[in-house]
Structure 1
Amino acid sequence: MEDIYAELLQKTAAGDQLAFKQLYEKCSPKLMSLCLRLMQTEALAEDVLQEGFIKIWDKADTYTPGKGKAMTWMSTVIRNKGLDKLRSLKTRPVETEAQFEGLEFTSSDLTPDSMEDMSQEMQGLMACLDTLKPSQRECILLSYYYGHTHQELSEKLGKPLGTIKAWIRRGLEDIRPCLN
């Protein structure tokens, strides 16, 4: 299936406002859910989404289709905006049972109904994460899903900073071919 988001993003990079409007209409619900997960309040999530789409408009020309999917690129832009906002507010996303929630997120014991509701992209990501060692998967999820720094993970997991960095780097290297 052709990546319609990539096509719209490339038109946006050329200054096509109609393409940007279509991109927003198609992607904003998914990206808003990411914002809500990070920010925990609708008002902050809406701010982050708006700021993120401004950055997507400004930086659309930096997207390279060969390096990954457009939705992944836009999710990264939005996630980084959210983390910047959290840092500026000196807050952290709310976690419940943080030690285990990250791993549960990647559980392969999902019901058929919930698997059907998930986007193909998310199913692919979860399949890729399942190939990692549990320690790598946990560090990547706590870092990218919850926004913990490497130093925070080192303290939280009681492991040396270098070990945490290596787990994340190697884990990302291992799943990169799977994601393309």
Structure 2
Amino acid sequence: MENDDLLVLLSATAQGNKHAFAKLYQSTSGKLFAVSLKMLGNRAHAEEALQDAFVKIWHNASEYQVSKGAVLSWMISIVRYRSLDMLRHHKVRKEQSLLDEHNEGVDIDITYEDDSKLVDCIEQLDPQQKQAIHLAYYKGLTHHELVDHIASPLGTVKSWIRRGLQQLQRCLTL
């Protein structure tokens, strides 16, 4: 579904239109669930995060600003933040296994099933940028957790993420 179509549904949702909200849910829930499941690695937690995110979308639909980005991006950020909250609350991160992998010198093999432009752009990143972004955005690790996991200084980790995101933005706008 195109951004304009989602915008119409979100605007109607902001006016309390339950039918529009149902269509918005039907159109986006699969993609949003995939984001949550990828981050949480637990179907039940991902379903809970998705439900909480849609409650927030229903209540905050009027707060969406076109100038801030696409409707789907706004919705993904809500799901992502809710998933991060759940990671912290339920402690579903597998921090110990990540630390064990690091101690054994095993790099994380990052693969993406999707065949989108974003995936193509991610694959073009330097290995350090790719790993830092993956751990931060897909696994929900904080900067300080990344420092411990990657065994690099905080400034370096932040620079990898910043430069990687800048490169992704350039790649996606081509």
- TM bucket (normalised to shorter chain) is 0.7 to 0.9
Looking at structure 2, the residues matched to 54 and 93 of structure 1 have their Cα atoms a distance apart, in angstroms, of: 28
1:18 partner amino acid: H
Give the secondary structure class of the aligned counterpart of 2:72. helix
1:44 is matched with: 45
Measured against aligned partners, the alpha-carbon deviations of 1:9-67 in whole angstroms (never above 9, x if no partner) come to: 23323332221110001111222222222333332222111101011122223333344
TM-score, normalised by the number of residues in structure 1:
0.78
Looking at structure 1, the residues matched to 45 and 18 of structure 2 have their Cα atoms a distance apart, in angstroms, of: 25
Q: Using a 3 Å threshold, how does the CA distance of structure 1 residues 87 and 157 change in structure 2: closer, same or farther?
A: same
Looking at structure 2, the residues matched to 46 and 82 of structure 1 have their Cα atoms a distance apart, in angstroms, of: 10
1:169 is matched with: 162
- Structure 1 residues 84-123: aligned runs within 5 Å: 84-92=85-93, 99-102=107-110, 104-105=111-112, 118=114, 123=116
Q: Using a 3 Å threshold, how does the CA distance of structure 1 residues 69 and 100 change in structure 2: closer, same or farther?
A: same
Residues paired across the two proteins, number: 165
1:109 is matched with: none
* Residue 133 in structure 1 maps to residue 126 in structure 2: yes
TM-score, normalised by the number of residues in structure 2:
0.80
- Which structure 2 segments of 5+ residues have no match? none
Looking at structure 2, the residues matched to 177 and 23 of structure 1 have their Cα atoms a distance apart, in angstroms, of: 29
Would the aligned equivalents of 1:37 and 1:93 in 2 still touch at CA under 8 Å? Answer: no
Computed over aligned residues only, the root mean square deviation of the Cα atoms, in angstroms, reads 2.5
- Which structure 1 segments of 5+ residues have no match? 106-113
1:148 to 125, 130, 141: 141
**Greater Cα offset, 10-19 or 46-55:** 10-19
